[in-house]
Amino acid sequence: MKAEESKFSLFSKRKSAEVDPSELKIPTHLAVIMDGNGRWAKKRMLPRSAGHRAGADNLKTLCKNCGHYGIKYVTVYAFSTENWSRPESEVHTLMELFVEYFDRYDPELEAEGIRVRFTGDIASLPENIQTVCKRAEEGSKHRDKMTLIVAFNYGGRREIVQAAQKLAEKVKAGAIRSEDISEELFAQNLYLPDVPDPDLIIRPSGEERTSNFLVWEGAYSELWFSDVLWPDFGMKELTDALIAYTRRDRRFGGLSKEKKDEE
């Protein structure tokens, strides 16, 4: 048995929560689609707002669990550009939760050394939400253990369109030529060009699609899906995802290590 296979056989004999972080390949950047809040509430005969509140509370747990594994960047899909089509009362609840979350949990984020950043069409949000975003970003710039990136009013296609518009304006102004546009230059005009692409994207709730999340940045991300609804997604599920990620061979279009060795 190969050493790598032997290592993974140990995983199968233990509970996932007992796996030592040193045995895992830890992603630098983890992205999570926080899905299933409404169904979580419905199963408990609670209003959807209760599910969203439980989901917001679980974000704090995710940050602590990711900190345990030394993950440096965590991006969460909190509100998409398509979510505006939901009932007005639900959108209002989500906006209120957004404000409450950063007022309530900022001391804990501070204690954990978590910097907060936002990605999305923030300029189109209500003024009070923009104020919360600016305050959270400015107040956490000095923290360096982890960066929590909240995708709010985010759509992957909109991000790409807005990047294209920026480049078109630069071409129009004569700052660049159209033939100068490369993948690297395009990426520099996305919302957060200094953040590394996600290594792993997780979606709980049983759905198996990325739903317009990090369309450009996630082109080569590993995907992992779980039937667990987001408010119940804990250390066990995170560890299971990291075990699966450790087993993956990320080739980025090239050959696997084994095939390279055969040549």
Buried b (16+ CB within 10 A) or exposed e, 186-219: beebbbbeebebbbbbbbbbeeeebebbbebbbe
Catalytic residue among 57, 83, 106, 212: 83
Which residue among 35, 37, 58, 153 is the active-site one?
A: 35
Backbone φ and ψ of 135, nearest 5°: -65, -45
CATH of domain 25-155+197-248: 3.40.1180.10
pLDDT at 3: 46
Instruction: Tell me whether residue 37 is one of the annotated catalytic residues.
Output: no
Buried b (16+ CB within 10 A) or exposed e, 232-241: bbeebbbbbb
Per-residue pLDDT of the chain (263 residues; tens, 9 = 90+): 444 444 444 455 555 556 888 899 999 999 999 999 999 999 999 999 999 999 999 999 999 999 999 999 999 999 999 999 999 999 999 999 999 999 899 999 999 999 999 999 999 999 999 999 999 999 999 999 999 999 999 999 999 999 999 999 999 999 999 999 999 999 999 999 999 999 999 999 999 999 999 999 999 999 999 999 999 999 999 999 999 999 998 776 665 666 556 55
Beta-bridge mates of residue 224:
202
- Give one word for 56, left, alpha or beta, with left for phi > 0 and alpha for psi -120 to 50: alpha
Determine whether 35 is an active site residue. Answer: yes
